[in-house]
Chain A
Amino acid sequence: MSQVATQPSVDQIWEWLDAVPDPEIPVISLVDLGIIRGVEWQGDTLVVAVTPTYSGCPATAIINLDIETALRDHGLDRIRLETQISPPWTTDWMSEKGRAKLEDYGIAPPQAAGGPERCPNCQSKNVTRVSQFGSTPCKAHWRCQDCLEPFDYFKCI
């Protein structure tokens, strides 16, 4: 039934998934975000394990749809998505590439210290928190005291 003559390798599939953007922060991929926890063939079915970022993140359903669409576009038709909540997602799983892209986009990447290292716009370390929450569940709202620009900080969890 499969339109693909030979099964694409797991590495190939990781590469495809690394091209699927996060629906709310499209500069980083789902792989960069660290939410793809496993890719494996079980017979002729590809099983992708996905972990949610925050329990109530409204993007979760869209993310699953985007994964399925991308894999179907590559000719796969037997796909099963599994939600894996354990171990819980942590921003430690975010890739270095993803962190750099976030900062480039104007979102300060997560830091173990619990706040941004610097302003993503002018690199000043003189920053202050406006709110513990921000425009999406994964972000908080900060402001630079030098360039005065507000910016999003990706919360560290």
Chain B
Amino acid sequence: MAAPLSKDEALVQFLLRMGDNTLILGHRVSEWCGHSPVLEEDIALANTALDLIGQTQMWLGLAADVQGEGKSADDLAFLRDVWEFRNLLLVEVPNEDFGRTLMRQFLFDAWHSIQLGHLMTSSDERIAAIAAKTSKEVAYHLERSADTVVGLGDGTPESHGFMQAALDYLWPYVGEMFVSDEIDAAMVEAGIAPDPASLRADYDTLVGRILADATLSIPESQFAHKGGRTGAMHTEHLGHLLTQMQWLQRAYPGASW
């Protein structure tokens, strides 16, 4: 990077990271609508997706305000291409099966709840307000995803097998949550957000406890896929997701209702 980012530029990047996580995961979870194993789970997933997309409006809305280019949350959601997204790779991987979807949700919810807990005391009042609002919803998501992970992990041999396979597949995507860069350093310095690396101990305690209850084994490898939250490299899946999510704006530019 040629010149160091200004404080507002760094703040926008931080807000995109928050909002892109909830947007992309919200979209992924919404893909289950009408396809879940049972009606109650369908409703639960749709409600979770709805919460996440509502949270996105606040994060991306604030990002657009700070940017000051007259854009809206919708502009940021629908008019950017892959390389401009700043979400964790974890949230863009395909749903695959119900087990993997719930495992991904749990691994994200655990981080999300810890992160929002810190953001509630952010020096930026707008961020603290969004965190206070959304942390209530996220506590509910975590309760459900953790219960489901335990129920399926410590369930039948078949459900256990699905959950262990999901954990093995997803675990390499967890490390990215805790990799700090210069944007995080700027947020820490301004008292806006915690250092991602500092959340790891709480995360490992929480996730370790639930996965132990679920009789699942955490993979030993420390390898971490990275590049989503910095925008350096997304998986091939995000482009496909955007062709669905942004279809209307791509086919009919500027369409509104």
Contacts and interface: CB of A to CB of B under 8 A. Distances in A.
Interface residues of B, number: 27
A85 B58 contact: yes
Nearest to A139: B47
Contact of B58 (A55, A87, A132): A55
Nearest to B49: A56
A106 B166 CA distance: 40
Interface string A9-38: 000000000000000000000000000000
B130 A131 contact: no
Contacts of A52: 54, 133
A52 to B, nearest CB: 8
Given A54-B137, A130-B40, A86 B132 contact: yes
A156 to B, nearest CB: 10
A3 interface: no
A55 B51 CA distance: 6
A58 interface: yes
A89 B49 CA distance: 20
Contact of B43 (A58, A85, A135): A135
Given A86-B132, A88-B136, A157-B136, A56 B43 contact: no
B83 interface: no
Interface in A68-92: 85-89
A57 B46 CA distance: 12
A55 B132 contact: no
Contacts of A57: 50, 54
B181 interface: no
A137 B47 contact: yes
Interface residues of A, number: 21
Contacts of A41: none
Given A55-B55, A56-B52, A133 B134 contact: no
Contacts of A133: 40, 43-44, 47-48, 144
Contacts of A58: 50
B65 interface: no
A141 B136 contact: no
B51 A85 contact: no
Contacts of A132: 44, 140, 143-144
Contacts of A88: 129, 132-133, 136
Interface string B118-154: 0000000100111011101100100110000000000
Contacts of A56: 49-55, 57
B202 to A, nearest CB: 22
Contacts of A157: 136-137, 140
Interface of B: 40-41, 43-44, 47-55, 57-58, 125, 128-130, 132-134, 136-137, 140, 143-144
Given A55-B54, A132-B144, 6 more contacts: A54-B54, A56-B55, A86-B132, A88-B129, A130-B40, A137-B51
25 contacts: A55-B55, A55-B57, A55-B58, A55-B133, A55-B137, A56-B49, A56-B54, A57-B50, A57-B54, A86-B129, A86-B133, A88-B132, A131-B41, A131-B43, A133-B40, A133-B43, A133-B44, A133-B47, A133-B144, A134-B47, A137-B47, A137-B51, A155-B140, A157-B136, A157-B140
